[in-house]
Chains A and B, each alone.
Chain A
């Protein structure tokens, strides 16, 4: 993150659940997993951390949970310095690829890890059935975890992360191996946690999941925060309109009109690279014709009014008009680049796909 963004964060609300400044980790062998992370998570929000494999997501979470020692770190969690043991009593954590002792039952798993978090015995006794019910495992509490499916282990894992009634819940790939019904249940649990005012820090590869539940997201690429903000903030200015025509676009006189439209100002700006039947309007917005679809990259509805008029004047029948915004996946792909951000030494913004080339998520429908 640049200095401007950091300054903007500094001026924001002081109620940060997690406030990270310059978190860096270099492993033995000079492998730089994190290159100075600045990240802030508000109390009571659901925050999503995404990034390709090897981006440093798990390293960051492990630093927060004192599993790994950072090379540099100036952050705090609930006001306490990162690395403080006492604050861990107020944090719930589910690691990725967690492994529970196979000789324990589900209820014993909850009891054991809650005891290590110093939850009193009476509280543990009361919370175990409650939480097993919350994650839909009430009939499996007395069964050994060795007999559980992966999804069941995830559910029990989420329950154990909640045993200490934490202020912050860090979940690393909580929906990993969980079926669609289970994923919906987990989303409901997360929504319930948010209603209770808990801060949720979510690490997930399932971008659609994150999009549904997160208030804010950060995209981590090669140990650096490539983007951070609400999905609205990140997609601001990247919306587009799609005008779907019932009339074939190659039929004259519509074909000439569209050619004229997309050719506008080519002399001045030149066609955007890789686009076919694409150009820019006089006002600067990109325009593209794909089959019988006219795409205009603008968030302003006024921009498309003259285009609609021209289309209708040239005999086009408009089937639908939709406003779309980039999905989280579009943002993610744009941030990580063509190689998915894995293992490459390229700077994080190199080789970006143009956002407009990727599919967008429908925001509204004018048809």
Chain B
């Protein structure tokens, strides 16, 4: 059994080795790592090679963002977020989409099915060899990034290698769909194009989810801010009314708390604030079913974006994120004229991040892998029952 598996993997490696696209992708990976190896940060600001880019807005320096956080951020956002999960994934899909259609092509499938290997094992092993492209690319890229972050950022972070299983996992969701389509259509082009369409569908759904979640967080923050503001104002109003009534010789009973009307009598702008809080509450009530609906649909399909985001979740803690944004974070305040709350963007971003991070790893990976298992189960079912 082991001999067969090793043979299939060696064959897959030989196939990759013969593909120009594999080496082009590897070369481009090297280029991406080289680019961010040239970027640095010091007390004066961001550097590129030996130039300090002090003209950049925001004047970010190493005191605000430590080098290791900068490199981790570059690795995750540029290396993983853009390069590996977009460009390299498309190149990997182009390279591997033909594996299953080529395997089941006439003249080729007879050579394989006539060997003492079950169809299920043959299909699944071939599927795994398809992941080899992504696996080798991400391993090479992560190793190079590990060295760059070690040398340039002076932090040796083995956690970076979590990118290998995560990116392979992410690619496997798409490749599972591609393999099923390969079995059904027997066409490389058809399976590749439909997989890319499916991926676009997932992207749109993820965008919708992210927008809904950020709206939800925004209104939650507004509601909480208004509630907090109203509570503080109520305390103030209670004190004012207590003092006034004592002065008038009509002391308030013990445990007196000003009602909304009493509060508005001493702080007229609070009427608007209460109204805004109620509006925020109402909008949240309207958003809730949509957010739940999208969440339910997302539960059934692979969560590509969230799978990759797990890396950031594991490499950069909430404490780190707060540390980066703390300098600018401000407490929400209520404008005394309009009664509106002033929200801090950093605070909103942090709360949105927190909301995403509240989604469990089991939900992100478990349900995605369950989808993949179902897709592969369908592909194996068709492959094992079909006459070739």
Where the two chains meet, the residues of A that have a C-beta atom closer than 8 Å to any C-beta of B are: 27, 62, 65-69, 85-89, 91, 93, 95, 97-101, 103-104, 108, 111-113, 115-121
User: Do B105 and A67 touch across chains, with their CB atoms under 8 A apart?
Assistant: no
User: Do B114 and A66 touch across chains, with their CB atoms under 8 A apart?
Assistant: yes
Question: How far, in angstroms, from A68 to B111 measured CA to CA in the complex?
Answer: 13
What per-residue 1/0 map shows which CB atoms of B226-247 lie under 8 Å from chain A? 0000000000000000000000
With known contacts A88-B116, A115-B4, A101–B11 Cβ distance under 8 A: yes
With known contacts A97-B107, A98-B110, A99-B108, A113–B115 Cβ distance under 8 A: yes
Interfacial residues of chain B within 72-110, with CB under 8 A of chain A in the complex: 105-110
Closest residue to A69 on the B side, CB-wise?
B387
Q: Which residues of the partner chain A approach B106 to less than 8 Å between Cβ atoms?
A: 97, 99
Question: In whole Å, how far is A150's beta carbon from the nearest beta carbon of chain B?
Answer: 12
Interfacial residues of chain B within 1-55, with CB under 8 A of chain A in the complex: 1, 3-4, 6-8, 10-11, 14-15, 17-18
Question: In whole Å, how far is B51's beta carbon from the nearest beta carbon of chain A?
Answer: 45
Residue in B14, B114, B117, B388 whose beta carbon sits within 8 Å of that of A108 in the complex: B14
- Please, could you name 7 A-B residue pairs with CB atoms under 8 Å apart, sorted by A? A67-B109, A85-B118, A88-B116, A95-B110, A99-B111, A116-B117, A119-B3
Question: In whole Å, how far is B335's beta carbon from the nearest beta carbon of chain A?
Answer: 69
User: Do B113 and A115 touch across chains, with their CB atoms under 8 A apart?
Assistant: no
Q: Which residues of the partner chain B approach A65 to less than 8 Å between Cβ atoms?
A: 110, 113-114
With known contacts A103-B14, A104-B14, A89–B116 Cβ distance under 8 A: yes
Question: In whole Å, how far is B283's beta carbon from the nearest beta carbon of chain A?
Answer: 56
Question: In whole Å, how far is A127's beta carbon from the nearest beta carbon of chain B?
Answer: 14
Closest residue to A160 on the B side, CB-wise?
B111
Q: Which residues of the partner chain B approach A103 to less than 8 Å between Cβ atoms?
A: 14-15, 17-18
Q: Which residues of the partner chain A approach B4 to less than 8 Å between Cβ atoms?
A: 115-116, 118
Question: How far, in angstroms, from A67 to B122 measured CA to CA in the complex?
Answer: 13
Question: How far, in angstroms, from A2 to B369 measured CA to CA in the complex?
Answer: 56
With known contacts A108-B14, A115-B4, A120-B3, A100–B114 Cβ distance under 8 A: no
With known contacts A68-B388, A108-B14, A120-B3, A99–B114 Cβ distance under 8 A: no
Closest residue to A25 on the B side, CB-wise?
B387
Closest residue to A113 on the B side, CB-wise?
B111
B112 within 8 A of A: yes
With known contacts A27-B387, A121-B3, A116–B107 Cβ distance under 8 A: no
User: Do B117 and A98 touch across chains, with their CB atoms under 8 A apart?
Assistant: no
Q: Which residues of the partner chain B approach A86 to less than 8 Å between Cβ atoms?
A: 116
Question: How far, in angstroms, from A272 to B109 measured CA to CA in the complex?
Answer: 52
Question: How far, in angstroms, from A284 to B118 measured CA to CA in the complex?
Answer: 60
Closest 5 CB pairs of A and B: A115-B7, A99-B107, A103-B18, A95-B110, A65-B114
Question: How far, in angstroms, from A119 to B118 measured CA to CA in the complex?
Answer: 17
Q: Which residues of the partner chain A approach B110 to less than 8 Å between Cβ atoms?
A: 62, 65, 67, 93, 95, 98
Interfacial residues of chain B within 363-388, with CB under 8 A of chain A in the complex: 387-388
User: Do B113 and A116 touch across chains, with their CB atoms under 8 A apart?
Assistant: no
Q: Which residues of the partner chain B approach A112 to less than 8 Å between Cβ atoms?
A: 7, 10-11
User: Do B107 and A118 touch across chains, with their CB atoms under 8 A apart?
Assistant: no
Q: Which residues of the partner chain B approach A118 to less than 8 Å between Cβ atoms?
A: 1, 3-4, 116
With known contacts A101-B15, A115-B6, A95–B116 Cβ distance under 8 A: no
Q: Which residues of the partner chain B approach A115 to less than 8 Å between Cβ atoms?
A: 3-4, 6-7
Closest residue to B106 on the A side, CB-wise?
A97
Question: How far, in angstroms, from A192 to B205 measured CA to CA in the complex?
Answer: 66
Interfacial residues of chain B within 163-191, with CB under 8 A of chain A in the complex: none
Closest residue to B103 on the A side, CB-wise?
A101
Q: Which residues of the partner chain A approach B111 to less than 8 Å between Cβ atoms?
A: 95, 98-100, 113
Closest residue to B1 on the A side, CB-wise?
A118
Closest residue to A27 on the B side, CB-wise?
B387
Residue in A62, A98, A111, A116 whose beta carbon sits within 8 Å of that of B115 in the complex: A116
Closest residue to B102 on the A side, CB-wise?
A101
Interfacial residues of chain B within 110-152, with CB under 8 A of chain A in the complex: 110-118
Question: In whole Å, how far is A100's beta carbon from the nearest beta carbon of chain B?
Answer: 7
Closest residue to B14 on the A side, CB-wise?
A103
Closest residue to B388 on the A side, CB-wise?
A67
Q: Which residues of the partner chain A approach B114 to less than 8 Å between Cβ atoms?
A: 65-67, 88, 91, 93, 95
Closest residue to A103 on the B side, CB-wise?
B18
Question: How far, in angstroms, from A89 to B114 measured CA to CA in the complex?
Answer: 9
User: Do B387 and A116 touch across chains, with their CB atoms under 8 A apart?
Assistant: no
Q: Which residues of the partner chain B approach A119 to less than 8 Å between Cβ atoms?
A: 3
Question: In whole Å, how far is B278's beta carbon from the nearest beta carbon of chain A?
Answer: 65
Closest residue to B109 on the A side, CB-wise?
A67
Question: In whole Å, how far is A339's beta carbon from the nearest beta carbon of chain B?
Answer: 26
